[in-house]
Chains A and B, each alone.
Chain A
Amino acid sequence: MDLFLQFLANGLVTGTFYALSALGLTLIFGLMRVVNFAHGEFYMLGGVLGWFVTSHLGLDFFSGLIVVAAIMAAFGWLVDRVLIERVRGQGEEPGILLTIGLSIFLANSALLLAGTAPHKIEGPLPNAPVFLGPVVLTEMRIFAVAVCAALILGAHLLIKKTKLGRAMRATFQDPMAAQLAGIKTARVYASTFALGSILAASAGMLLGAIYSTQVTIGGIVSLKAFVVVILGGMGSFGGAIVGGLVLGVAEALWGGYVSTGMVDIVGFIIVILTLIFKPYGLFSARAERV
Chain B
Amino acid sequence: MKLERNTLLILAVLAVLFPMLVTDQYILHIGIMVLFYAVLASSLNLIVGYVGEFSLGHTAFLGLGAYTAAILATRYGLPMWATIPLAGVISAALGSVIGAITLRLQGPYFVIITLAFAEVLRIIANNWIGVTNGPMGIAGIPQPEILSTTSTLFAKRLYFYIALAIAAVALYLAYRFVYSSTGRAAVTVRENRYVAQSVGIQPFAYAMQAFVLGAFLAGLAGGFYAHYISFVGADVFRFSFMATMIIMVLIGGKGTLLGPLAGALLVTLMEEYLREAQELRMSIFGLIVMLVVLFLPKGLMGFLTLRRERHAGNAELTGNAQRIQPQGGAI
Contacts and interface: CB of A to CB of B under 8 A. Distances in A.
B126 interface: yes
B90 interface: no
Contacts of A142: none
B119 A96 contact: no
A95 B97 CA distance: 28
A101 B109 contact: no
Interface string A157-176: 00000000000000000000
Interface in B249-265: 250
Interface in B61-119: 101, 104-109, 111-113, 115-117, 119
B127 A262 contact: yes
B105 A290 contact: yes
A102 B127 CA distance: 31
A177 B239 CA distance: 39
Interface of B: 48, 54, 56, 101, 104-109, 111-113, 115-117, 119-120, 123-124, 126-127, 239, 243, 246-247, 250, 279-283, 285-290, 293-294, 297
A96 B56 CA distance: 10
Listed from nearest, the 10 A-B pairs whose CB atoms lie closest are A105-B286, A101-B289, A104-B286, A108-B282, A101-B290, A268-B116, A265-B123, A108-B283, A271-B116, A261-B127
Question: Which residue among B54, B112, B119, B247 has the maximum number of chain A CB atoms within 10 Å of its CB?
Answer: B112
Question: Which residue among A219, A264, A265 has the maximum number of chain B CB atoms within 10 Å of its CB?
Answer: A265
Interface residues of A, number: 45
A36 B141 CA distance: 38
Given A259-B127, A262-B124, A272-B116, 13 more contacts: A92-B54, A92-B107, A93-B48, A100-B246, A104-B289, A108-B279, A108-B282, A223-B119, A234-B108, A268-B123, A272-B117, A275-B109, A279-B105
Interface residue SS majority, chain A: helix
Contacts of B285: 104
B124 A265 contact: yes
A97 B250 contact: yes
A265 B120 contact: yes
A24 to B, nearest CB: 16
B239 A98 contact: no
Question: Which residue among A35, A101, A265 has the maximum number of chain B CB atoms within 10 Å of its CB?
Answer: A101
A1 B120 CA distance: 30
Contacts of B108: 29, 33, 35, 92, 234
